[in-house]
Every structure is written in C-alpha cells, then in structure tokens.
Amino acid sequence: MKIAILSRNKKLYSTRRLVEACKLRGHEVRVIDTLRCYMNITSEQPELHYRGETLQDYDAVIPRIGASITFYGTAVVRQFEMMGVFPVNESVAISRARDKLRSLQLLSRDGVGMPKTGYAHSPDDVQDLIQMVGGAPLVIKLLEGTQGIGVVLAETRKAAESVIEAFMGLNANILVQEFIKEAGGADIRCFVVGGRVVAAMMRQAPEGEFRSNLHRGGTATLVKLTPKERATAVKAARVMGLNVAGVDILRSERGPLVMEVNSSPGLEGIEMATGKDVAGMIIEFIEKNARPHRTKTRGKG
Ligand code: ADP
Ligand code: MG
C-alpha cells in the first residue's frame, strides 16, 4: 500500500516509528509536512499539491496533527478524504477531540463517566458555577490547552473565584471541573486502535504536582485495566469516532472517569512503558480497513 503520514517533523519518535512499521510491513510510505500542502478545491477533481507535485494514488493517510495547527491540518485531512484516501482518523473526529467541551458533551450524551464539569462564558454568578461542580478544590482548564498547560488546581473557593475571573477577563474559554483527589496525581492512558485497547499505562505526577502529563515530568508504568476501564476507553473512542485514540481516565471512587480523548496520541511513552509495537498495530489496522472512499462522514462535514 501507499501510505502518507501527515507530520511536521520526520524526526519525532512517533513519526519515525510509523515510518519504520510501514516499511517493515512492505508498504511505501512518505512523510508529508502538513503545513506545506496546498490544495485545489474543485467539484470535479479535488487535488492536493506538495512541493510542486500532485499527491496521487495514496491508499491511506495517518494524520499526526499538532494542537497548534488543528484548523489547517484538518482541512488537509478532509482533502485527502475527498480524494477517497482512507484516513486513520477522520477530520471531523479530530476536530471534535480538539475541543474539550465538545468532547465532554458528546461523551456525556452517551453516558460515559466523567468528572462533574461546568462551562460558562461570562456568568453573573461565579459562586454558583463553583457550587455546580461541588465547590473547591476544583480544576480550571483552558478549552484548547494541551500537555498540561492551562490546567490549574484551585484549592479554595477564593482561589477558584480569582482564577475563573482572571481567565474570563482575558476572554479565554474555560471549563471548571470537580477535582478527583483520590486519583492521587495519576491517570491512565488507554491506547485504542480499531475498537480495542492495545496498550495502557499509568502516569504518575511528580511529588507536589497533580498533573500527570509526561511533558510535566510524570512517570509511566505498566497498568492492568479493569474490564470496566477497558470498556469505558473503547466506548469513549467510539463515541468520538476515532479509530486511533489515547483515552485518559481517572480512577475515582465512582469508577473510571474519562478526562479527555486524544486524536494524535504519542507513541514514545506508551511503547516504552509497555514494550508493545503500537506503531505496527496502527499499520495493521490500516491493512484491514483501508478501502477507497470509506470515510464515514463523506459529504457531511
Ligand atoms: P491536557 O490536555 O493539557 O493534558 P488534561 O485535562 O489532560 O489537560 O489535564 C492534565 C492533567 O491534569 C491530567 O493528566 C491529570 O493528571 C490532571 N487532571 C486533569 N483534570 C483533573 C481532575 N478533574 N481531577 C484530578 N486531576 C486532573
Ligand atoms: Mg491530557
């Protein structure tokens, strides 16, 4: 097969591993810098150009779209879809996952467990908003933050009020969330490929920190999932419409709670922690599912 990897950097671990896995399995592969693609949007024959040539005859595309280029990145994936190329994750699903509020609304509609979450633009009553999610301590998040940046723990009601008002003064979109204390600064990353959890790790925040992101100094270890956790991760990926997803779960007293669903989950942490060939499993998924014009949402958005 001929496979395109949309990535801004060939040297990133995830990109390198996907290239390697493609080659090992006998596929032709090319890394394409997302922002360097340009397109011809016509009703007859949608085209994608790259470095002066037309991209042609690709069977599948693996989008690795960084948060900062979601808008253009999803447009490039959509163009591939219009050309009939099978996307590992569809553009619409990537857009959904990038917006934490939209994701949580979809997950709650389908009954997936999540921390109590409130969202507001400019409420007259910040106290009521705080009360709505159970009072302090609580977590305040920027809607489009990533890698733990823009996630704040407010320990007291007063602190919560000040932080919320400060963010609102900056016109930032935020959500407020019940703080799951019993998770103890740990969360579980479930790596889902094609409706199955293929690998999972527990990430533990360093001493004095509640955010377990590896980018914030968290450490990863192997974890055994309960059947409920496994089912929750699979359901969350399905609801989001993602074939490949990193579902982040908090272990709470009332069971697994989904915090977020990532559409371009990194491979380094999970492969190192589990010793599994996750890249190979993604390529295997493509081999089993890629057919021309198989994008589910074709024509809708
Ligand atoms: P990001 O997209 O920046 O990674 P997350 O929502 O995943 O933002 O939050 C970052 C980290 O903060 C999580 O991995 C988790 O360890 C911690 N965290 C986030 N929300 C909560 C919460 N409601 N209760 C407890 N810990 C949380
Ligand atoms: Mg996260």
How does the average pLDDT of the chain come out, rounded?
93
pLDDT tens, residue by residue, 139-183:
999 877 778 888 999 999 999 999 999 988 888 888 999 999 999
Q: Would you state the pLDDT for residue 41?
A: 80
Look up residue 208 and give its amino acid.
Answer: G
Looking at residue 215, its pLDDT comes to 85
Is any ligand 1 atom within 6 A of the Cβ of residue 139?
yes
Cα separations in angstroms, 182 against 125, 186, 252? 29, 9, 6
What's the rounded Cα separation, in Å, for the pair 103 and 119?
Answer: 13
Cβ proximity of 6 and 62 under 8 Å: yes
CA of 260 to the centre of ligand 2 (A): 6
Find the ligand nearest to 251 CA: 1
Which residue's CA is minimally distant from atom 13 of ligand 1?
211
Q: Is the predicted pLDDT of residue 300 greater than 50, yes or no?
A: no
Q: Ligand 1 within 6 A of 137 CB?
A: no
The CATH number of the structural domain formed by 2-96 is 3.40.50.20
* Position 185 pLDDT exceeds 50: yes
Task: Give pTM, 2 decimals.
Answer: 0.93
For the CA of 115, the nearest atom of ligand 1 = 23
Q: How far is the CA of 211 from the centre of ligand 1 (A)?
A: 6
pLDDT at 29 over 70: yes
Query: What's the confidence (pLDDT) of residue 67?
Result: 84
Q: In this predicted structure, what is the pLDDT of residue 298?
A: 45
Examine the pLDDT at 59 and tell me if it is beyond 50. yes
Name residue 61's beta-bridge partners: 4, 87
Instruction: Provide the token pair at 209.
Output: 């920190």
C-alpha 151 – ligand 1 centre gap (Å):
7
- Provide the pLDDT confidence category of residue 214 given band limits of 50, 70 and 90: confident
- SS3 readout for the chain: CEEEEECCCCCCHHHHHHHHHHHHCCCEEEEECHHHEEEECCCCCCEEEECCEECCCCCEEEECCCHHHHHHHHHHHHHHHHCCCEECCCHHHHHHHHCHHHHHHHHHHCCCCCCCEEEECCCCCHHHHHHHCCCCCEEEEECCCCCCCCEEEECCHHHHHHHHHHHHHCCCCEEEEECCHHHCCEEEEEEEECCEEEEEEEEECCCCCCCCCHHHCCEEEECCCCHHHHHHHHHHHHHHCCCEEEEEEEEECCEEEEEEEECCCCCHHHHHHHCCCHHHHHHHHHHHHCCCCCCCCCCCC
Maximum Cα interatomic distance, the chain, rounded to a whole number of Å: 60
* pLDDT given for residue 172 in this prediction: 87
- Number of the ligand 1 atom closest to the C-alpha atom of 177: 23
pLDDT of amino acid 143: 79
| Nearest atom, ligand 1, residue 145 CA | 3
**Quick one: tokens of 212?**
């377990």
Are the beta carbons of 70 and 3 closer than 8 angstroms? Answer: no
Q: Residue 13 pLDDT > 80, yes or no?
A: yes
Q: How far is it, in rounded angstroms, from Cα 258 to Cα 209? A: 20
Q: Sketch the domain layout of the chain as residue ranges.
A: 2-96, 117-179, 182-284
Q: Is 151 in the pocket of ligand 1 (CB under 6 A)?
A: yes
247 falls in which pLDDT band (50, 70, 90)? very high
| Mean pLDDT of the 214-223 span | 92
CATH label, 182-284, candidates 3.60.15.10, 3.30.420.40, 3.40.50.720, 3.30.470.20? 3.30.470.20
φ and ψ at residue 97, rounded to 5 degrees: -65, -25
Single-letter amino acid code for the residue at 109: R
> What CATH code is assigned to 117-179?
3.30.1490.20
* Site to substitute for ligand 1 among 187, 201, 251, most atoms within 8 A of C-beta: 187
Task: Specify the ligand 1 atom closest to the Cα of 149.
Answer: 3
Cβ–ligand 1 contact at 179 (below 6 Å): yes
Q: Hey, what are 88's tokens?
A: 């590992």
Predicted local distance difference test score (pLDDT) of residue 296: 64
